[in-house]
Amino acid sequence: MVVLPVVDLDPELAALRPLGGFFALRTDETAPPTTLAQVYAKTPSGVHRDALAARVAVVAERLRTPEPRVAASLAQQGLAARLWSAALGCAALYGRLPDLDPRRLRWDPLGSAPDDLWLTGVRPLPGDPDLVAGVLHRHLEPLGETLRDRYGVAAGLLWGNAGSALAGAARELDRWARANGRRDVADRARTLTDALFAHPLLRPTGTRTGTAFRRRSCCLYYRVPGGGVCGDCCFTRPPRSSPGAVSG
């Protein structure tokens, strides 16, 4: 376990705001009714039934893609980036982590960062790697299972998205920390990220060199009209593929 100096979590998690929208968590009383636990459920009900489908549809409309699995992949990567950024940012800046149980996080599927995610009450926990890894087990595993069942997105692709999102959050946090003379934050972020990428679910997702990351899968952004390959993609140029092909 990594022992970090701690700072009390403030009720608004204000220290996250200078890092940008992907890191911020809203904690006010205007939260929407849908929790992430309800989004991940295999058999959602009532007002929560279409929250995940609504997000996929929003992404598909914004990117003008007719392929639901492409929109599902990119929607998952966006949510993974939000979750990793908030968790890693809190652990690195505060040395503590708020309880990010899916039942405590509320989500607006029509919103964009930082107006898509609310935390119901700031309950402090230690900021150690095992608890930060809770993003994997409590969020990304059930979300991935639901997306595979509903949209047929390959498991390797989704874990590649998770690795890419974690690397991106770590890189941005390192950039901010160095620009603001916070070497302690950069060191914490690196230690936590190293521990997370040692996890069996993330270790195979790509190759890391410092804060750079090269994934072993493709998020399918190249299939978006006008899209191409991302900076960490396994491809150096958009592949030629049949309409039914999926890169996993």
pLDDT digits (tens, 9 = 90+) for 213-246: 999 999 999 999 999 999 999 998 888 754 444 4
> Looking at the predicted structure, is the pLDDT value of residue 2 above 50?
no
> How far apart, in whole angstroms, are the C-alpha atoms of residue 236 and residue 88?
29
Section 22-32 average pLDDT: 90
Question: Could you tell me which residue, 213 or 10, shows the higher pLDDT?
Answer: 213
Beta strand 105-107 with 124-126: parallel, antiparallel or unpaired?
unpaired
pLDDT at 49: 60
> How far apart, in whole angstroms, are the C-alpha atoms of residue 149 and residue 210?
35
Predicted confidence band of residue 48 (pLDDT cuts 50, 70, 90) = low
DSSP helix/strand/coil, 166: helix
The pLDDT tens digits of the residues spanning 121-137 come to 899 988 888 889 899 99
Predicted confidence band of residue 46 (pLDDT cuts 50, 70, 90) = low
The pLDDT tens digits of the residues spanning 76-110 come to 999 999 999 999 999 999 999 999 999 999 999 99
Question: Could you tell me which residue, 75 or 128, shows the higher pLDDT?
Answer: 75
Predicted confidence band of residue 5 (pLDDT cuts 50, 70, 90) = low
Residues 6+ positions from 218 with CB-CB distance below 8 Å = 157, 160, 229, 233, 234, 235, 239, 247
Query: What does the block give as tokens for 204?
Result: 């195979």
Question: Could you tell me which residue, 46 or 203, shows the higher pLDDT?
Answer: 203
Residue in this structure with the two tokens 């959602």, named with its chain if needed = 44
The pLDDT tens digits of the residues spanning 166-178 come to 999 999 999 999 9
pLDDT at 45: 59
Count of beta carbons in the 10 Å neighbourhood of residue 122: 18
What average pLDDT is seen over the chain? Answer: 90
Beta strand 117-119 with 105-107: parallel, antiparallel or unpaired?
antiparallel
> Looking at the predicted structure, is the pLDDT value of residue 40 above 80?
yes
Section 53-79 average pLDDT: 96
